[in-house]
Copies of this chain bind each other. A is one copy, B any other.
């Protein structure tokens, strides 16, 4: 007898690892079964503290995440880890698999680790990662660590989904990197200078301090700078304390609620955008699209006029019927 949606949901709520894995896969693939499941789980799950961790390649994010997860585990909390891997947009495969990651945690039943591939399509991560957090919340995770590799758009996505965003910096990067960091500086609630046993750690700290003094945050939070050596575990306890302080600050100043409100608003609009497009595509005859592509390719028609026509077609208006 096949398992019902309700049974599947119940197994996830009980923390069954195979049921969780299947749910995440369903959500990643955009299956309707996954969406039905999310509807069932949503009202019954408790909120986790979602910690986004980001920084340049080579900053030591994975090691830090592993140690931080251990720190929360030592306090008896269930921890979920979502590692967003860079993928080839063509092969679709993740470079680092779950299995070779974080081996120290791999036998701990209180930790759930999942790698997600960005898949190279716009908003793909944003759409699925939020739902994966929901599943881990339903499965009883009290802390969810979301690690993103890469710089740029990914950071913004982390900030959009997390309750707190941690930016990892390392000593010894070039000037261009410093320039770049200014662009993502504002999204961090907390700065970590990792590999702090290397020369130049103090200078990085001073630079961050200087930048923060130029542009103080409107919400009154002063982002702390924590020095760590993730490989040895040094500073990880301080990082956890700083994370808890931010959480307490957020509760006190209604900051967390306001951020969640913005996140859900953005999330609903994102899902709406995705849903409208999916429905439109299902109504669009492939032959019509192919013909229009050829016309644009030959410069017989311009893309904007073509899209106006396509919108008419998918919306069922008579102007699109010709």
Contacts and interface: CB of A to CB of B under 8 A. Distances in A.
Interface of A: 35, 38-39, 42-43, 56-58, 85-91, 95-96, 118, 120, 122-123, 126, 149-154, 156, 159, 173-177, 179-180, 182-187, 257, 260-261, 264-265, 267-269, 271-273, 275-277, 279-281, 289, 292-294, 296-297, 299-300, 302-308, 310-311, 314-315
Contacts of A280: 272-273, 276
Given A43-B299, A89-B156, A293 B268 contact: yes
A57 B178 CA distance: 9
B89 A276 contact: no
Q: How many copies does the complex hold?
A: 2
Given A150-B151, A289-B265, A120 B179 contact: no
A273 B123 CA distance: 12
A122 B120 contact: no
Given A86-B152, A89-B187, A304-B35, A177 B57 contact: yes
A75 to B, nearest CB: 25
Nearest to A295: B264
B185 A88 contact: yes
A178 to B, nearest CB: 9
Contacts of A58: 173-177
Given A96-B179, A151-B150, A296 B268 contact: yes
Nearest to A260: B297
